[in-house]
C-alpha cells in the first residue's frame, strides 16, 4: 500500500502571517527610524527583542509554507528553533516591560507591555502543546503573532504622529480576521480560535481598565519612590 501523503496546509495561514510580517517590518522599521532621529539608543537587549520579533514573523509564514508543501520533517526541525525564538522573545519582553516600569511616563505602557508578553507566552505554549492537532496548532500560533504586534503598530502610527491608543481598533480587527475566516471557510469557529481571540481581547480590556485607572499610576509612583 502506498504511503499516504500528509494533508497540505491552508493558504490563509501563510498569507495572513505574511501580512503580519509586512506590518512588523514597516512598524518596527518606523520605530527604529524615529529612535535614530531622536538620537536615543535603546539598550542592546531591547534591540534584541525587536530582532527576535522579526525572526518570529519570518518563521511563522515559512513554517506555513512548509506545511503547504507537505515538508513535515523540516517543519518539525524549525519548530525546535521556534522554542529558542519564543524563549528569547519572552525573556527580552519581560526586560522591556521592566524598563517601561522604571522610566516610562505612561502607566498604561507598563501593563500593556507585560500583557502582550504574557499573552504571547500562553498562546505559544498552547500551540506547542497542541502541535499534534494541526487545526489548533496553527490557530494558536497565528494569535501568538497577533498578540505581540502592538510595538510594531505603535511604530506605524507614531510615524504619522498618532497616539499609541489608536492602534486598538486595528489590533481588534486583526484578531477578528481568523474568526471571519473560520466562519467563511468552515461554517464554524474553531474552539482554538475563540479561546485565542477571547484571551487576547480580555487581556487587552483588563490592561486598559487597570492601566488607565489613576490608582495604577499612584501605585507605580509609590514603587518608583
- Read off the pLDDT of residues 98-110 as tens digits, 9 standing for 90 and up: 666 665 566 777 7
Residue 133: inside a domain: yes
Residue 2 lies in a domain: no
Structure confidence at residue 156 (pLDDT): 86
Domain count across the chain: 1
4 inside domain: no
- Answer for the pair 157, 167: CB distance below 8 angstroms, yes or no: yes
pLDDT digits (tens, 9 = 90+) for 28-86: 888 777 665 555 556 777 788 889 999 999 999 999 999 998 899 999 999 999 999 99
Please tell me the pTM assigned to this model. Answer: 0.89
Cβ pair 116, 150 in contact under 8 A: yes
5 within some domain = no
Residues in the chain: 225
Q: Report the alpha-carbon angle 138-144-146, nearest 5.
A: 105
**3 is a domain residue:** no
Has residue 1 been placed in a domain?
A: no
CA distances from 3 to 6, 124, 133, 161 (A): 9, 31, 20, 57
Contact criterion met (CB below 8 Å) for 190 and 208: no
Q: Residue 118's domain spans which residues?
A: 11-224
Residue 221 scores a pLDDT above 80: no
Amino acid at each position: 500500500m502506498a504511503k499516504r501523503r500528509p494533508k497540505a496546509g491552508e493558504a490563509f495561514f501563510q498569507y495572513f502571517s505574511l501580512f503580519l510580517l509586512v506590518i512588523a517590518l514597516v512598524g518596527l522599521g518606523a520605530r527604529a527610524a524615529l529612535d535614530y532621529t531622536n538620537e536615543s539608543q535603546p539598550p542592546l537587549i531591547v534591540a534584541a527583542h525587536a530582532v527576535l520579533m522579526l525572526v518570529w514573523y519570518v518563521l511563522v509564514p515559512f513554517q506555513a509554507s512548509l506545511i503547504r508543501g507537505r515538508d513535515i520533517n523540516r517543519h518539525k526541525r524549525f519548530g525546535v528553533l521556534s522554542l529558542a525564538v519564543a524563549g528569547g522573545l519572552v525573556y527580552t519582553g519581560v526586560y522591556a516591560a521592566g524598563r517601561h516600569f522604571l522610566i516610562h511616563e505612561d502607566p498604561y505602557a507598563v501593563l500593556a507591555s507585560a500583557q502582550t508578553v504574557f499573552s504571547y507566552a500562553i498562546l505559544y505554549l498552547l500551540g506547542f502543546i497542541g502541535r499534534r492537532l494541526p487545526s489548533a496548532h496553527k490557530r494558536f500560533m497565528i494569535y501568538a503573532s497577533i498578540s505581540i504586534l502592538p510595538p510594531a503598530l505603535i511604530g506605524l502610527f507614531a510615524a504619522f504622529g498618532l497616539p499609541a491608543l489608536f492602534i486598538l481598533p486595528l489590533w481588534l480587527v486583526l484578531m477578528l480576521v481568523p474568526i471571519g475566516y473560520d466562519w467563511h471557510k468552515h461554517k464554524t469557529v474553531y474552539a482554538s480560535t475563540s479561546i485565542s481571540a477571547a484571551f487576547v481581547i480580555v487581556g487587552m480590556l483588563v490592561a486598559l481598565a487597570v492601566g488607565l485607572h489613576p490608582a495604577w499610576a499612584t501605585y507605580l509612583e509609590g514603587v518608583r519612590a
